[in-house]
Amino acid sequence: MEKEQFTSRFGVIMATAAGAVGLGNIWKFPYMLGQNGGAAFLVVYIACVLLFGLPLMITEIVIGKRSGQSVRGAYQVLIGNRRWNGIPILTCLTVTLIIGVYLVITGWCVKYLLMSIVGPLPTLNGWTDVLCNAFAVLCSVAVVWLGVTKGIERLSKIFMPILLLIIVILLVRVMLLPGAKEGLSFLFSFDADKISFDVILSALGQCFYSLSIGMGALITYGSYIPKKQNVVTTACGIVAVDTLVAVMSACVIMPAVFVYGFSPEQGPKLVFSVLPVVFEQMPGGHVMVLLFFALLCIAAITSIVSLFEVLTASLVDVTAHRERRPLTRHQALVYVAVVCLAISGFCTFSMTGESDWLVWRGKTLFDGLDVLTSSFMLPMVALSTVIFFGWFVDKQVMIEEMKPHYGTKPWAIQGYYFLIRWCFPILILLIGLNSIGII
Ligand code: PHE
């Protein structure tokens, strides 16, 4: 069967940006900005995106596009042997756990959205939350079920513009509040003293997370990009949308928080405990709450879609050559969804206080998996991928990809390889060590 492909450059950018724009942009970026000194963090973040995020994104997309394979087959095809097959296994494991954790927060977004529509929900202990997780899973399954072109591409082309429209509406509403300027001046008054080693490393980590680096999504979606398309301009488009959404979310959240006298340094709770209160206080606030949580749900679900696609495509490939009947795409998707929902269920129950066995030394399963994936597993995948591509894949692969668009510029290729062979491995190692708390 002919492999499905995205049909246009706009479609590729919308689909991949929909995967990249997620809770990382709307929930995490604003509070990290709040905790790490506002404009100083913003400047460092943008520098990290341009210097490191963009080249890494290009690398991953090229791995997918040149091999034309899912994560499972991509490494093997590029190098002609199976020696690097550990990376796909680690990627799929990491992605499964990440979805489990991410679904918990997505479930909260669904819950808040429902509450803003129908009022308080019946409390069934953890089960209300698990049902909300299940709702998010169902929506994501529906999109992947329809396929790459009819599902992922077509729906991204509808939902990304809706997402951008919602942000613009929220932004205009917040800007009209008296006192919104103070919030903005916190965001945009630059104080170079606030830039520390810690701030740089957190910005780097956030940049990788936000652009979905090391999650296999860029490789998988890369394999659906038409051969003629220019990877660099595509990656620039994705990075631009992703960063724009992050900055706009911060411009919605921070001023709103300031106007109503809350502290911008609330951390992860900011979006869930502060914002509904803040929005309800302003005229037309109810609609704002509804729009805001709709925004979070769209962003989160389209991100889950991208990771479901990573796992589904890989699972189909794993079973493609076995003697028993290979799995169809739909069967693989159902397996993936059930496993991820189960993990998210355990994570949810670990936090409701009823299931002691899911809590270990005061840390819930949710916390444990979050740290395990973001501090160990993601950096490991990213590190092994850059070593793989920088040191072991023939340079010709990158050169051939760039040639039709830019010719062969030796300085650009050398610069790229210097980054990928030396700078990135060291940086990723630093981020990993920093997030474990060693440096
Ligand atoms: N880039 C995504 C985000 O910012 C990362 C992600 C995607 C995480 C899918 C989990 C699942 O939210």
Q: At what angle do helices 86-118 and 71-79 cross, to 10 degrees?
A: 150
Measure 204 CA to ligand 1 centroid, in angstroms.
Answer: 15
Which residues make beta-bridge pairs with 359? Answer: 364
Say what the pLDDT of residue 268 is. Answer: 73
Which of 57, 207, 209 best tests ligand 1's pocket when mutated (most atoms within 8 Å of CB)? 209
Contact yes or no for 213/382 (Cβ under 8 A) = yes
Q: Which residue has the tokens 């689909």?
A: 15
Does residue 80 lie within any of the structural domains?
Answer: yes
Burial label for 185, CB within 10 Å (0-12, 13-18, 19+), is middle
Q: Residue 162 sits in a domain of what CATH number?
A: 1.10.4160.10
For the CA of 306, the closest atom of ligand 1 is: 9
Give me the number of domains the chain comprises. Answer: 1
Q: SS3 for 354?
A: coil
Contact yes or no for 337/137 (Cβ under 8 A) = yes
For the CA of 25, the closest atom of ligand 1 is: 4
Which of 221, 303, 308 best tests ligand 1's pocket when mutated (most atoms within 8 Å of CB)? 303
The per-residue DSSP string of 148-194 comes to: IIIIIIHHHHHHHHHHHHHHHHHHHHHHTSTTHHHHHHHHH---GGG
Measure 215 CA to ligand 1 centroid, in angstroms.
Answer: 9
Measure 310 CA to ligand 1 centroid, in angstroms.
Answer: 13
Contact yes or no for 295/252 (Cβ under 8 A) = no
If one counts every other C-beta atom within 10 angstroms of the C-beta of residue 177, the result is 18
Q: Which two tokens stand for residue 260?
A: 């109503």
CA 158 to each of CA 134, 148, 168: distance values in angstroms, whole numbers, following the listed order = 23, 14, 16
Q: Where are the beta strands (DSSP E) in 350-398?
A: 359-360, 363-364
Does residue 171 lie within any of the structural domains?
Answer: yes
If one counts every other C-beta atom within 10 angstroms of the C-beta of residue 260, the result is 17
Q: SS3 for 372?
A: helix
- Please state the φ and ψ torsions of residue 195, each to the nearest 5 degrees: -80, 115
Does residue 383 lie within any of the structural domains?
Answer: no
The per-residue DSSP string of 209-232 comes to: HHTTTTSSHHHHHHTTS-TTS-HH
Which residues make beta-bridge pairs with 360? Answer: 363
Which of 21, 49, 213, 215 best tests ligand 1's pocket when mutated (most atoms within 8 Å of CB)? 215
Give the chain's end-to-end CA distance (angstroms, integer).
50
In the 8-state DSSP scheme, what is residue 326? P
Residue in 27, 415, 53 with CA at minimum distance from that of residue 240: 53
Q: SS3 for 321?
A: coil
Which of 99, 102, 219 best tests ligand 1's pocket when mutated (most atoms within 8 Å of CB)? 102
- All residues at 6 or more sequence positions from 220 whose CB lies less than 8 Å from its CB, including other chains: 64, 70, 71, 306, 309, 310, 313, 314
Does residue 89 lie within any of the structural domains?
Answer: yes
Does residue 421 lie within any of the structural domains?
Answer: no
Q: pLDDT tens digit string along 3-58?
A: 899 999 999 999 999 999 999 999 999 888 888 888 899 999 999 999 999 999 99
- All residues at 6 or more sequence positions from 436 whose CB lies less than 8 Å from its CB, including other chains: 375, 376
In the structure, which protein residues have their CB atom closer than 6 angstroms to any atom of ligand 1? 20, 22-25, 98, 102, 209-210, 212, 303-304, 306-307
Rounded-to-integer distance, Cα 183 and Cα 326, Å: 56
Q: Digits of tens for pLDDT over the chain (439 positions)?
A: 568 999 999 999 999 999 999 999 999 998 888 888 888 999 999 999 999 999 999 999 999 999 999 999 999 999 999 999 999 999 999 999 999 999 999 999 999 999 999 988 887 778 999 999 999 999 999 999 999 999 999 999 999 999 999 999 999 999 998 888 888 887 888 888 889 888 888 898 899 999 999 999 999 999 999 999 999 999 999 999 999 999 999 999 888 888 888 887 777 778 888 888 888 888 888 898 999 999 999 999 999 999 999 999 999 999 988 778 889 999 999 999 999 999 999 999 998 877 778 888 778 999 899 889 988 899 899 999 999 999 999 999 999 999 888 888 889 899 999 999 999 999 888 888 887 778 7
Which residues make beta-bridge pairs with 124? Answer: 126
Residue in 40, 50, 417, 12 with CA at minimum distance from that of residue 211: 50
Q: pLDDT tens digit string along 227-253?
A: 999 999 999 999 999 999 999 999 998
For the CA of 23, the closest atom of ligand 1 is: 12
Q: Which two tokens stand for residue 178?
A: 């008296």
Rounded-to-integer distance, Cα 9 and Cα 34, Å: 35
Rounded-to-integer distance, Cα 402 and Cα 380, Å: 27
Measure 97 CA to ligand 1 centroid, in angstroms.
Answer: 12
Residue in 376, 347, 344, 378 with CA at minimum distance from that of residue 363: 347
Measure 182 CA to ligand 1 centroid, in angstroms.
Answer: 30
Does residue 424 lie within any of the structural domains?
Answer: no
Measure 304 CA to ligand 1 centroid, in angstroms.
Answer: 7
Burial label for 438, CB within 10 Å (0-12, 13-18, 19+), is exposed
Which residues make beta-bridge pairs with 126? Answer: 124
- All residues at 6 or more sequence positions from 301 whose CB lies less than 8 Å from its CB, including other chains: 106, 136, 139, 140, 143
Q: Output the pTM of the full model.
A: 0.94
Nearest CA to ligand 1 atom 4: 24
Q: Which two tokens stand for residue 354?
A: 């009823």
The per-residue DSSP string of 267-294 comes to: GGGIIIIIHHHHHHHSTTHHHHHHHHHH
Does residue 52 lie within any of the structural domains?
Answer: yes
Say what the pLDDT of residue 144 is. Answer: 98
Does residue 299 lie within any of the structural domains?
Answer: yes
Contact yes or no for 85/110 (Cβ under 8 A) = no
Which range of residues forms the domain containing residue 36? 9-375+394-414
